[in-house]
Amino acid sequence: MKLAFEKERQKVKQMFCSPTKPQILELVAAVACGLLCSILCTMGHPWLASMVPMAMLIRPYRYSKNILWPIVWVGAALAAVMMLEPVVDAYYTTWFFPLYKALGLGVLLSLAITPHFMAWLKRQGRQAERARQDNSRPKFPAFYFFVAMLVPLLCAWASKGPYLESFDLAYELEMLRGETPLNDVHTMAHTFLLWLCAGNPVVLVGLQIFALALLLTVFAAWFYRQGMGLFCIGATFSMFSLCGTVTELAVSPIKDLPAALCMGVVLYYSMRLLVNDLQWHWGHRLAFGSALAFTGLLRHNGYVLVLAAGVWLLFRAMRQKQLFAVLASGVVCIVLVNAIGYGILHAQSPNNGFSVQVYATGIVAVERRGGDITEAQRQRMKELLPMDYVEACLSNPETEGRTLAQRLCWIRDLGQYLPSEEEQAFAPLLQDENGTNDVFNNLFILAAGEHKTEIITLYFELFLQNPWLCTTEIIRNTTTIWRLERGLALFSHVFYLIGILAAFVGIGKKKMLRFWPVLLPIGCNVASVVVAASTNELRYLLPTFLLAAPAVLFFGLQSSQPTSSEEQPQ
């Protein structure tokens, strides 16, 4: 016991070790790069901000046949995006470029970026491999790195705080004050987190930005121990993990950042597990399992990751018995919150129509865009959804320019809309004495929540009859995932995804089969947004913006490792 305590004391002491002069210069330069990118993006010059990381990538590199596939893949991805990029109308797609121009420009951009990016990853891997053999290397200045990551977050908080105008926040505060019955529309775990902060959103924001800086420091300490340079880690994190999208959402007291932080912890332990670097202290097991559980407890769509990662860990647990403790701790967390906690607090679980918004809006799209739909299916649609209300939403001039899903889901008119004669079956849904339904916005969402199974069944029938129409409708309602929403800037979501996948492809087929679980947090989040969220909000994609840089650095570390070095189960 005494020996373990002494080890922990030495670790804490090491965190506050004085950095060397070169380390200070590296940290200052790294934060300066990130702040410069943020300032340029804020001033409306994201393409100019992209020149900062591009300048760091451009160095002489050796041509290799292994670079051909990444160039072709990235070029094809960019070409596809540029053909669809200016989708602004919910019913028609404007083609930005004809096919040959899009392919040509996509390949040219790929030739300008991909070889330098892949060479940079290889170079980082080789340098890290050499650095691991250097016993005289200075210790990682954890406290100073933490401060370096905290500075941009505090700057963002000072410029945008206190950020208290969110409807979601107001609804949760009503529940804490007893004005609205406790319910899980916004997840009970996040409401409880807000309660722990004495119902003060400013305290919550302060805690979560400290947690974000701490998470990045934990990642950085591990990458540094693996041999990566301090400037490389700091600059990559300050430019990409702390980009404008992340800092803006970090100072918002809603559930997106806490859930993304839990995904980050899952990613961190997954990386260490994959390279056999976990010592399996009980703290590791509990942190891993509880972080995975709270990914779902803090965001309903987080359960996609809980399920996928749970299955992966279950298979691995057959060889590494310590993982059973990880799974058990996750199950205990979910049971404590969703079973015991709900019962003690008498929390309600209202029918949440937002969980089937993709399917409900897809049914409407088939009918509105002249798809293949039988009279029997049309009749079922009218029984499940208030179609007169749909017509009223889509004819509202104030919603022009928005997607079909946004026009249906974000008109907040509860208590104001008078159902037509054909909609009398839906009229009781508007009667809400305790205010629970206020969060569901309108009659369309309320009706969707009442008939989830039937709506999903009808949607898949129509999907099989109209596969192209339904697919294009999903594409139009999820443009935040794939659009170059800021031009050709490297800070758009699609470039983050392309960067991750290019780095993944660059490690080779054998390592791809071994390290694919690193893609789970971001991949599951994007997949859950595609199938469950058609309102096209950028905050749903926060995990990509936050965790892309650690994922890319991890693949960079593996890019120069011998492929024969397979993990040995502990």
Rounded CA-CA distance 498/477 in Å is 20
Looking at residue 83, its pLDDT comes to 77
Average pLDDT over residues 317-323: 88
Rounded CA-CA distance 476/463 in Å is 16
User: In the predicted model, is pLDDT for residue 86 greater than 50?
Assistant: yes
- 1 pLDDT band, cuts 50/70/90, is very low
Helix axes 256-274, 282-298, angle to 10 degrees: 140
Rounded CA-CA distance 569/515 in Å is 15
Rounded CA-CA distance 407/394 in Å is 6
Looking at residue 434, its pLDDT comes to 66
User: In the predicted model, is pLDDT for residue 567 greater than 70?
Assistant: no
Backbone angles phi, psi at 18, to 5 degrees: -70, 130
Measuring CA to CA, how many Å separate 79 from each of 136, 210, 523?
Answer: 48, 40, 21
Rounded CA-CA distance 342/338 in Å is 6
Residue 418: Cβ within 10 Å count? 8
- 90 pLDDT band, cuts 50/70/90, is very low
- 3 pLDDT band, cuts 50/70/90, is low
Least confident span in 95-99, 518-522, 546-550, 566-570: 566-570
Q: Which residues on neighbouring strands pair with residue 488, listed in sequence order?
A: 486
Could you say which DSSP state residue 487 is in? E
CB-side exposure of 116: number of CA atoms within 13 Å?
13
Rounded CA-CA distance 229/145 in Å is 13
- Is 485 in a helix, a strand, or coil? strand
Rounded CA-CA distance 545/493 in Å is 7
Looking at residue 58, its pLDDT comes to 82
H or E element, residue 335: helix 322-335
Mean pLDDT of the chain: 85
Helix axes 467-477, 357-368, angle to 10 degrees: 120
Q: How far is CA 238 from the centre of its chain?
A: 17
The tens digit of pLDDT for each residue in 124-167 reads 888 888 888 877 788 899 999 999 999 999 998 988 776 667 77
Average pLDDT over residues 556-564: 71
The tens digit of pLDDT for each residue in 37-57 reads 989 988 888 888 988 998 888
Burial class (CB within 10 angstroms; exposed 0-12, middle 13-18, buried 19+) of 340? exposed
* Dihedral sign (CA 48, 49, 51, 55): positive
The pTM for the full model equals 0.90
303 and 341 in contact (C-beta within 8 Å)? no
Average pLDDT over residues 252-264: 92
User: In the predicted model, is pLDDT for residue 459 greater than 70?
Assistant: yes
- 88 pLDDT band, cuts 50/70/90, is very low
Rounded CA-CA distance 520/526 in Å is 10
Rounded CA-CA distance 319/570 in Å is 8
